[in-house]
Structure 1
Amino acid sequence: MGNSSNRNPWIWIPSLYLTEGIPYIVIITVSVIMYKKLGVSNSDIGLYTSLLYLPWVIKPIWSPVVDLFGTKRKWFLTMQLILSLVFLGVGLTTAGSSFFFMTLAFFWMGAFASATNDIASDGMYLIALKPEQQSFFVGLRGTFYRIGMITGQGLIVMIAGYLETTLGDNSKAWSYTMIAVALLMLILTAVNYLSTPNVEEEATDRTAREASFGKVFINFFTKKNIGISLAFVLLYRLGESQLVKMASPFLLEGRQTGGLGLSTSQVGFLYGTIGVIALLLGGILGGIAISRHGLGKWMIPMALSLNLPNLLYIGLAHFQPENLFFAGTVVVVEQFGYGFGFAAYMIFLIYLAEGLFKTSHYALATGFMAMGMMLPGMLSGYIQEWLGYTGFFIWVGVAMIPALAIAASVRYPREFGKKTD
C-alpha cells in the first residue's frame, strides 16, 4: 500500500464528519420519531431513547483502546461497516412482533459503534493535520457534522414520511427507510476507505503504545489548569445547551400557549436551508479567523457571537410576530453566531488534547462536552414549563454570564491555532 498521507483534506474531512453526524442523529433523534409513528408509548420512548445517549458521555472510558491498539483508520472504517449492518438490522426487524426490543438492541450496538467511530475519526483529524490546518478546517469539519445531522433529521425523516403516505403502512415505511440508511452508510464507508489518508501517529515516544489505561487518564487530569479548562468545556454553551432543546418546540407551539405556531415544514425550511447556509458561513469564517490571528484574539468575540443572538428569542416570545421573516431572521443570526462562536470551543478542545494520547484526551474532552450539553438540556423542559417561553429565554440570557466569565478566565496560549506561514 503506497503512502497516501497527502490526500486532500477538502475531500476526506467532509465525508468523514458527514459519517459521524448521520448515525448519531438517526440513533438519538430519528429513533424517537420512528417509535412514535410505530405506536410506542411516550414513557418508553423517553426512557429508552435517552439511555441511547449514554455511550457518547462515557466513551472516554474505552477511548484508550482506540489509542493503544490498531490504527485510527482501521477503527473508524470497521465501526462504519458495523453501523451499516446495524441499520440493516433495524430495517429488517421493524415489522416484527418484538420490533421495539429488537430494534432497540440494534440501536444500542449502533450507539457504541457510533461513539467509537467518533473517537477514531477525531483521532485521524488530530494526527493527519498540522495544528494550523486543524484550526483552518475546524469550521468545515463542524459544518459537515451538522449537515450529517440535518440529513438525518430532515431528508431521512422526509423519506419516511413520504413512504408512510405512499405505502399506507408505517412499519414498512420505516423498514425501507432504515435499509436506505444502511445503504447510505455503506456508500460513505467506501468513500472514506478511498479518501482518508493512511497515516498514524509518529512513534516518537513508545510509551504512548505501552501505556496503561490509568496513565492515559492521570495524564489528562494532571494537565496544567485542568480545573478551569474543564469548567470552560462545561459552561461555554450553558445557554445554548438549553436553547437548542426548546427552540423548535417554541416555533411549533400554538400561539395561544406562547409559541409562534409555525408548521413542521416551515421549521424544517428555516433550519434545513437558510439556517444551514448561515451555519456553514459562520463555521468556516470562524476557523479562518483563528487560523489567521490565533485563539486569544477571538475567544471573547466568539463567546459573544455564540451567546448574544439567543437574546433575540426573548423578542420573538414577547411579540409573537406572525410574519415568518422575523423568525427566519432570528434563526439565521443564531445559527451564524453558533457556527462562528463554536470554532473557538473546538480549537480549545484540540488544545486540551495536546501531548501524548491525543485521541484519548480528545475523547475525554468531548465526553465533558457531551455532559455540558446533556445535563442543562435535561432540565430545559422543566424550566420552560415553569417560566413560560419569554421567561425561559430570559433565563437563557442569564446563563450567558457564567459562559462569558469562564471564557475570559480560561488559560491557553494566545497564538494557539494561528497559521505559522
Structure 2
Amino acid sequence: MIRKAEHRNPWYFVPTLAFTLGITLIIVNQVASMMYASLGVSTQLIGVLTILGLPIAFNVFFAPFVDSYSTKRNWILGTQAALVVCLLFLAVCLLIDFHVVAVSIVLVGLLALAAGVYAIPNGGFFVEALTKKEQGFFVGINTAFIRIAIIFTTGVLVIISGKFGEKVNNIHYGWSLFFFMCAFAVLITSVWHLFIMPYPKTPLRKEKQGYLAPFKEFFTQQGALLFVSYILVFRLGEGLLTIMSSPFFLNSAEQGGLGMTVAEVGFAKGTVGVAASIIGGVLAGVFLKGKHYRKMIIIFAICMTAPNALYIYLARFQPQEMAEINLSFIPALFGSAAQWTAMVNIKTLAAIAIETFGYGLGYTAFVFVVYRIAEASSFRATTISIAMALQNVGWTFSGFVSGFIQSAVGYEILFTLSILLSIPGIILLVLLLRKREI
C-alpha cells in the first residue's frame, strides 16, 4: 500500500494534473464549437454558446470557498469525479441521439463549471506540494503538459472520432466516441491521483483580511485603470477569430468556408497549430529573459495580431491546393496497423501554423506582464487569478457576438475586424509599460 507522504517527486503528479486540466479546457473553449458546427448548428448560436465558458472565466470568485473548506487534494479528486460524470453523460447523450443540442449545451455548461472549480485547487496544490526550487522548474512543465493535452485531445482524439464518424456514417457516434475516450483519460488520471498525490501540510492561515481585500488592492494599485483596460481588450480580436475559425474551416465553400472534415480540422488545429504555439511560447520565454524585454513585449503583442491577415486571404480566395498526409501514427499508438491518410489544404495549414505561432509569442508576453505586476502585490496568486478572469471577459464577449457578426458581414470582414479590435490592446500595453515598472 502506498503511504501517505507529505512530499513526492513532482514528476509523479504535476504533468497529469496539468494534462487533465488541458483536456477539459480545450473541450469547452474549442472542441464544443467544432462539434456544434459539424452538427449543423448556426454560427449565431455557436457564438452565443461562448458564454458556456463563463464559469472558467470567473472561477476566481469560487476561490475563497475552495480555500476555506477541506483540502486542495480533496477538491481536486472531487472535481475530477464530476468531470468524468459530465463527459460520460455527453457521450451517452450523443450515442442515443437524445435531444443532442439542447442536452449537450447543459452538459457542456456543467463541464465548464467543474473545470473552472478544478483549476482553483490545482494552482494551490502546486504551491503547497512543491518546494520553491521545484516550483521554478515545474511551472514550465505544467504549461507544456496543458499544451500536450490539447494536442492529444484535438490532434488525436478528434481525428479518431472524425474518422470513426465517417466510417459508420454517423457524426453523432463519432462525437460519442470522443467523449467516452476523454472520460476514460480523466478517469485514469483520477485513479492515479488518488493513490499518488502527496498530502502536503496546509499552511497556517493569517489573520483574516476579508473576502474583498484582494479585490480592493487589485483595483486600487498603481495604473489600475490602464492595467484593467488592457486586460479586458487584449483578447477581443482573438475571440472573434478563435470561435469562428472552426465553423470557417468546416463550412462549405458556398457558405464562405473551406469545406474541411472534422479529422482534417483536428489535425490542422490540434496538432500543427498547438505545436506551433508551443514553439512560439518557448521562444518568447527565451527573448523575454533579455535586457530588451520591454520592447519584445510590444513586438510579440503585434505578432499575435498580424497573422490574422492570413485568414482574410483564406476567406477571400478559398484556396483548394490539397496534399495527402499520412496519419498512420495515430492508430499505431493503439497497436493497429491501419493506414490512415488525410487530404490537407497546404495554404490553410501554413496559415494556422503562423497564426498560432504568433499567438504563442503574444500570449506568453501577456502572462509575463501579469506575473511582473503581481510581484508587487500582497495577494500575488489572487492578483494573477483576477487578471486571468478579466482577460476571459473580453474574449467571451467577442466570441458571444462573433456568430452574429459573421452572419451579417461574412468571414472576410469578421477576420478584418479581429485585427482592428486588437489595436486598442496594443496601444494600452504601450501606455502601461510607460506608466509602470515591469
What is the CA deviation profile of residues 278-331 of structure 1, one whole-angstrom value per residue up to 9, with x for unaligned ones? 112112222333345585353112212211222233333344433333222221
Identify the residue that residue 345 of structure 1 maps to in structure 2.
Answer: 366
How far did 1:64 drift? 1.4
TM-score, normalising length: structure 1: 0.79
Distance 1:232 1:137, change over 3 A: farther
Equivalent positions of 1:339-378 (< 5 A) are: 339-354=360-375, 355-378=377-400
Aligned residues: 409
SS class of match (1:249): helix
How far did 1:23 drift? 1.8
How far did 1:47 drift? 9.5
Identify the residue that residue 16 of structure 2 maps to in structure 1.
Answer: 15
Q: 1:296, 1:415 within 8 Å by CA — same for their partners in 2?
A: no
Distance in 1 between residues matched to 2:258 and 2:104, nearest whole Å: 35
How far did 1:249 drift? 3.2
How far did 1:92 drift? 5.1
Distance in 1 between residues matched to 2:408 and 2:220, nearest whole Å: 41
Distance 1:381 1:341, change over 3 A: same
Distance 1:382 1:138, change over 3 A: farther
**What letter matches 1:367 in structure 2?**
A
Q: 1:53, 1:111 within 8 Å by CA — same for their partners in 2?
A: yes
Identify the residue that residue 324 of structure 2 maps to in structure 1.
Answer: none
Distance in 1 between residues matched to 2:182 and 2:427, nearest whole Å: 43
Distance 1:260 1:267, change over 3 A: same
Identify the residue that residue 87 of structure 2 maps to in structure 1.
Answer: 87
Identify the residue that residue 59 of structure 2 maps to in structure 1.
Answer: 59
Identity of aligned residues (%): 29
Distance 1:257 1:45, change over 3 A: closer
- Structure 1 residues 364-373 or 49-58, which shifts more? 49-58
Match of 2:282 among 281, 284, 300: 284
Q: 1:123, 1:358 within 8 Å by CA — same for their partners in 2?
A: no
TM-score, normalising length: structure 2: 0.77
Match of 2:432 among 404, 410, 414: 410
Q: Is structure 2 residue 407 aligned with structure 1 residue 391?
A: no
How far did 1:12 drift? 4.5
How far did 1:377 drift? 1.6
**What letter matches 1:341 in structure 2?**
G
Equivalent positions of 1:116-195 (< 5 A) are: 116-125=117-126, 128=130, 141-164=142-165, 177-192=178-193
Distance 1:362 1:268, change over 3 A: same
Distance in 2 between residues matched to 1:414 and 1:329, nearest whole Å: 38
Identify the residue that residue 350 of structure 2 maps to in structure 1.
Answer: 329
SS class of match (1:213): coil
Distance 1:284 1:101, change over 3 A: same
Match of 1:4 among 7, 13, 16: 7
How far did 1:97 drift? 5.9
Identify the residue that residue 336 of structure 2 maps to in structure 1.
Answer: none
Compute the RMSD of aligned alpha carbons.
3.9
Match of 2:215 among 206, 214, 217: 217
Identify the residue that residue 401 of structure 1 maps to in structure 2.
Answer: 423
Q: 2:240, 2:415 within 8 Å by CA — same for their partners in 1?
A: no
How far did 1:15 drift? 2.5
Q: 1:6, 1:197 within 8 Å by CA — same for their partners in 2?
A: no
What is the CA deviation profile of residues 55-96 of structure 1, one whole-angstrom value per residue up to 9, with x for unaligned ones? 123322221122344443432233113312333344456638
- Structure 1 residues 275-284 or 94-103, which shifts more? 94-103
| Structure 2 gap ranges (5+) | 322-344
Q: 1:67, 1:360 within 8 Å by CA — same for their partners in 2?
A: no
How far did 1:144 drift? 3.3
What is the CA deviation profile of residues 17-60 of structure 1, one whole-angstrom value per residue up to 9, with x for unaligned ones? 221121233345545666788x8976997599555323123322
**What letter matches 1:7 in structure 2?**
P
